[in-house]
């Protein structure tokens, strides 16, 4: 049986898997350690815009999730909410496996800052961003899917 931070990280991974939005964006998450999350997903033509590359919606969703889960890995009682996210696109994603890496940067009380980046199948960075997340009044244990 998992205990402490390890149990919290597995429960957050379960929460991610149970979020209805992830039925639209097939992906897997791993909270590697406190303050660091990794999401793997595949880009194919289902997420392309008219110019045959991934729509920005996918960039934002995966980077926001990676940074969010990196930050929420430090908070064991409350769900965090995204209050801002700044995203810089550096190259188009046309196809293949992509990794979103999120890292906690600062904050431990009410507001948290996390960085994220997308790495394409060739190992090149495709985007970088920074998010701000705030502690909510929503208890993690009240959410479907948060299971230790």
Q: How far is CA 140 from the centre of its chain?
A: 16
Name, in order, each residue with C-beta under 8 angstroms of 133's C-beta and a sequence gap of 6 or more: 67, 68, 71, 72, 80, 81, 82, 83, 111, 112, 113, 114
How far, CA to CA in Å, does 79 sit from each of 7, 75, 86? 16, 8, 21
Place of tokens 């597995």: 10
Q: Whose structure tokens read 């906690």?
A: 104
Q: Residue 52: what pLDDT?
A: 96
Q: Say if CB 148 and CB 20 are below 8 A apart.
A: no
Q: Do the bridges between strand 96-106 and strand 36-43 make them parallel or antiparallel, or are there none, so unpaired?
A: antiparallel
Straight-line distance from the first to the last Cα atom of the chain, in angstroms, rounded to the nearest whole number: 9
Determine whether domain 4-142 maps to CATH 3.10.129.10.
Answer: yes
Q: d(Cα 52, Cα 44) in Å, to the nearest integer?
A: 9
Query: 111-119 and 27-33 as β-strands: parallel, antiparallel, unpaired?
Result: unpaired
* Per-residue tens of pLDDT for the chain, all 148 residues: 467 999 999 999 999 999 999 999 999 999 999 999 999 999 999 999 999 999 999 999 999 999 999 999 999 999 999 999 999 999 999 999 999 999 999 999 999 999 999 999 999 999 999 999 999 999 999 999 998 6
Task: Write down the pLDDT at residue 147.
Answer: 84
Q: Return d(Cα 118, Cα 102) in angstroms, integer.
A: 9
- The pTM (predicted TM-score) of the whole model is 0.95
Residue ranges per structural domain of the chain: 4-142
pLDDT at 63: 98
């Amino acid at each position: 049986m998992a205990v402490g931070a390890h149990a919290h990280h597995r429960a957050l991974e379960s929460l991610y898997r149970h979020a209805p939005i992830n039925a639209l964006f097939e992906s897997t998450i791993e909270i590697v350690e406190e303050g660091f999350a990794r999401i793997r997903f595949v880009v194919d033509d289902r997420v392309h815009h008219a110019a045959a590359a991934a729509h920005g919606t996918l960039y934002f969703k995966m980077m926001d999730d990676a940074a969010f889960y990196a930050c929420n890995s430090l908070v064991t009682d409350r769900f965090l909410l995204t209050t801002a996210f700044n995203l810089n696109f550096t190259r188009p994603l046309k196809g293949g496996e992509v990794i979103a890496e999120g890292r906690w940067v600062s904050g431990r009380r009410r507001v948290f800052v996390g960085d994220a980046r997308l790495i394409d199948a060739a190992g090149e960075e495709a985007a970088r961003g920074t998010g701000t997340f705030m502690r909510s009044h929503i208890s993690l244990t009240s959410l479907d899917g948060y299971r230790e």
